[in-house]
């Protein structure tokens, strides 16, 4: 995939900064905005139970998988259209198409992993 952002070349290894950034932003939004709202609605101190949080993470895991499948379908179509299906050269498609699934991976980490840790510590 094309890793150019204008004239800047972005290393594929540095793409994992994207989900980490999404995790930090999502965690702040969740902790400062969503939990107080849910606390008022449910009366539960954490907003929702630990297992509900894990379940939300699993739903987003399914969504991330569906998005990954759609992006891979698009990537394969671009490769076929340009005759690059068996080529080792890059495909003329931006690597930032992966951004949406990286966003969902950040939400999965914030919900599932944090929910599991809280569940294990509360038992």
- pLDDT tens-digit map of 85-96: 877 777 788 888
Q: What is the pTM of this model?
A: 0.80
SS3 sequence, the chain? CECEECCEECCHHHHHHHHHHHHHHHHHHHHHHHHHHHHHHHCCCCCCCHHHHHHHHHHHHHHHHHHHHHHHHHHHHHHHHCCCCCCCCCCCCEHHHHHHHHHHHHHHHHHHHHHHHHHHHHC
pLDDT digits (tens, 9 = 90+) for 68-107: 999 999 988 988 888 888 777 777 888 888 888 888 988 8
């Amino acid at each position: 995939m094309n890793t150019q952002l204008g004239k800047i070349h972005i290393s594929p290894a540095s793409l994992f900064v994207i989900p980490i950034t999404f995790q930090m932003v999502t965690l702040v939004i969740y902790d400062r905005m969503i939990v107080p709202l849910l606390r008022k609605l449910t009366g539960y101190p954490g907003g929702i139970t630990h297992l509900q949080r894990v379940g939300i993470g699993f739903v987003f895991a399914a969504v991330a998988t569906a998005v990954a499948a759609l992006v891979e379908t698009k990537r394969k179509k671009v490769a076929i259209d340009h005759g690059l299906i068996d080529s080792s050269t890059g495909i003329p498609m931006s690597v930032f198409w992966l951004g949406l699934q990286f966003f969902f991976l950040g939400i999965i980490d914030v919900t599932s992993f944090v929910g599991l840790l809280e569940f294990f510590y509360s038992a």
